[in-house]
Amino acid sequence: MAFFKTYATRLMNAGAAPSRCRVLVVDDEDAVRRYVAHVLTAAGYDVSAASNATEALESFRDNSFDALVTDVMMPGMTGDELARQLRQSERGLKVLYLTGYSDRLFKEKVALWADEAFLEKPFTSNGLREALSLLVSGRLEINTSKSAAEPEPTS
């Protein structure tokens, strides 16, 4: 009986984002930043957005975040540099790198840490939700309702 209760609970919670998961989205491209924030908000995440590393650092000083979704190549500071700075005060921060330049990411960064992942641009809304869900919770927690449907893909 306990097996069925556990299975039923998992099915009921399958569409929900991790409870109170706070995500900081950083991308210098306005359209990408707004798209990512919209998709993740519709999936149930608590999302804040920044257009550059300076804004992200300011936002991080005033708030606590569970995950960082960041572009890799940005003016002033790369996404990897930003993640390293933020992790000085929040060691458990999960990081999802968005990149159209995965070759550059791995040229500068030989390996990803356990709490890091990357998503190649262009990506779909489902791909974004799946990548963040796996990174944050270790399992797929996808909201497949019509309200979560988004235009595909982004560049």
The band of 124, judged by pLDDT with boundaries at 50, 70 and 90, is: very high
Where in the chain are the domains? 18-142
Residue 151 above 60 pLDDT? no
Closest CA to 64 of 104, 42, 103, 92: 92
Homologous superfamily of 18-142: Response regulator (3.40.50.2300)
Residue 20 above 80 pLDDT? no
| pLDDT tens-place string over residues 51-99 | 999 999 999 999 999 999 999 999 999 998 999 999 999 999 999 999 8
